Amino acid sequence: MQNNQIYKEVQYPGPYQIAWSRFKSDHISWVSFCLVATFIFVAVFAPVIAPYSPYAQHNENILHPPSWQTAGNVYFLLGTDDLGRDVFSRLLHGTQVTFGISLIVALVAMLVGCALGAMAGMSRGLRASFFNHLLDTILSIPSLLLAIIIVAILGPGLENTIWAVFSVLIPQFVHRTRIAIKIELEKEYVTAARLDGASDFHILTNTILPNIIETIILQYSLAVSAAMLDIAALGFLGLGAQHGSPEWGAMLADSIDLIYRASWLATLPGITMFICLLSVHTMGHGIRNTLKQRSE
pLDDT in tens, 22-69: 777 878 888 999 999 999 999 999 889 988 888 888 888 888 888 888
Residues 6+ apart with CB under 8 A from 67: 73, 74, 76, 77, 78, 79
Q: What is the pLDDT of residue 105?
A: 93
In a domain, 86, yes or no: no
CA 254, 106, 220 angle in degrees (round to 5)?
115
The pLDDT of residue 15: 65
109, pLDDT greater than 60: yes
> Alpha-carbon distance 226 to 230, whole Å?
6
Residue 180 CA from chain centroid, whole number: 21
pLDDT exceeds 70 at position 8: no
275 falls within a domain: yes
Which whole-number Å values give the CA distances from 288 to 99, 113, 281, 294, in the listed order? 21, 19, 11, 10
Q: Is residue 199 part of a domain?
A: yes
Report if residue 76 sits inside a domain: no
Identify the three-state secondary structure at position 234: helix
| Residue 148 domain flag | yes
Cβ–Cβ < 8 Å for 98, 231: yes
Q: What is the mean pLDDT of residues 248-275?
A: 87
Q: What is the 8-class DSSP label of residue 72?
A: -
Name the 3-class secondary structure at 196.
coil
What is the model's pLDDT at position 127?
67
pLDDT at 157: 84
Q: Is residue 136 part of a domain?
A: yes
Range with lowest mean pLDDT among 1-5, 180-184, 266-270: 1-5
> How large is the average pLDDT for residues 193-215?
80
> Does the pLDDT of residue 213 top 70, yes or no?
yes
Instruction: Return d(Cα 46, Cα 246) in angstroms, integer.
Output: 12
User: Is it the case that residue 129 has pLDDT exceeding 80?
Assistant: no
Contact 272, 96 (CB under 8 A): no
Q: What CATH number does the domain containing 226 carry?
A: 1.10.3720.10
pLDDT digits (tens, 9 = 90+) for 240-260: 777 778 888 888 888 888 888
Task: Give the pLDDT mean for 94-114.
Answer: 91
pLDDT at 7 over 70: no
267 found inside a domain = yes
Query: How much is the average pLDDT of 177-191?
Result: 83
SS3 194: helix
Residues of the domain holding 139? 92-295
- 102 lies in a domain? yes
Give how many domains the chain has, as a whole number.
1
pLDDT at 125: 66
Q: What percentage of the chain carries pLDDT values higher than 70?
A: 92
Confidence of residue 296 (pLDDT cuts 50, 70, 90): low
* In the predicted structure, residue 5 carries a pLDDT above the cut 70: no
Mean pLDDT, range 199-206, rounded to an integer: 80
Cα separations in angstroms, 24 against 21, 60, 219, 276, 281:
5, 48, 21, 19, 16
CB-CB contact of 72 with 64 (8 Å)? yes
2 pLDDT more than 60: no
Report residue 198's pLDDT band, with 50, 70 and 90 as the boundaries: confident
Which residue intervals of the chain are DSSP H helices? 15-25, 27-49, 87-94, 101-122, 126-139, 143-154, 158-185, 188-195, 200-202, 213-237, 248-255, 264-295
* CA-to-CA dists, residue 3 to 6, 7, 9, angstroms: 7, 10, 14
pLDDT of residue 285: 83
Mean pLDDT of the chain: 83
pLDDT at 22: 78
